[in-house]
Amino acid sequence: MTRCIVCGCSRLDPKGIACALCGGAHGVRSEQCYVNEDTRAKLLAHAEDLKTFGVTLEEYRPIQKSAGDKIAVTGLALQIAEALKPGALRSIILYLRDIAIPKDEILRLRLDEPESVSDALSEVREGHQDSEAGD
């Protein structure tokens, strides 16, 4: 299955070319996730913790189109274990939020539909507000 590299949506527009939600291009799971350097650093710093969720991070260097390129692009591949436990995806999303990865960057990881990611993140906000109010 492919997902939009911008927002993570799996739906295509009526022409079957671009993302139905944002118009971005679709990519396969193995394609590089386009996140910023801060997010990349946070993910790599928490790579061992993410393994408990069945998430493996790989840092790789794609082949350059020009032999004259002196700066190599570093990509980040995020692979989710094939058999997720019920609730595991929500746990991953919440963990990413807990380590201060912004919502837009979580969406770019293409973990699930943007609506599902947003729902999980909004449930957390409500839960935090309720638990903080009770303290």
pLDDT band at 131 (very low <50, low <70, confident <90, very high): very low
Residue 95 lies in a domain: yes
Residue 5 lies in a domain: no
Residue 16 lies in a domain: no
Burial of 27 by CB count in 10 Å (0-12 exposed, 13-18 middle, 19+ buried)? middle
Gap between the Cα atoms of 116 and 47, Å rounded? 23
Q: Identify the CA nearest to 124 among candidates 98, 88, 89, 86.
A: 98
Query: Is 28:77 a contact under the CB 8 Å cutoff?
Result: no
Instruction: Give, in degrees to the nearest 5, the angle at Cα 83 between 52 and 123.
Output: 65
Examine the pLDDT at 68 and tell me if it is beyond 60. Answer: no
pLDDT of residue 37: 87
Find the domain containing 81 and state its range: 35-133
Query: Is 24:34 a contact under the CB 8 Å cutoff?
Result: no
Residue 15 lies in a domain: no
Examine the pLDDT at 10 and tell me if it is beyond 80. Answer: yes
pLDDT band at 80 (very low <50, low <70, confident <90, very high): low
pLDDT in tens, 94-124: 999 999 999 999 988 888 889 989 999 987 5
Residue 7 lies in a domain: no
Instruction: Give the number of domains in the chain.
Output: 1
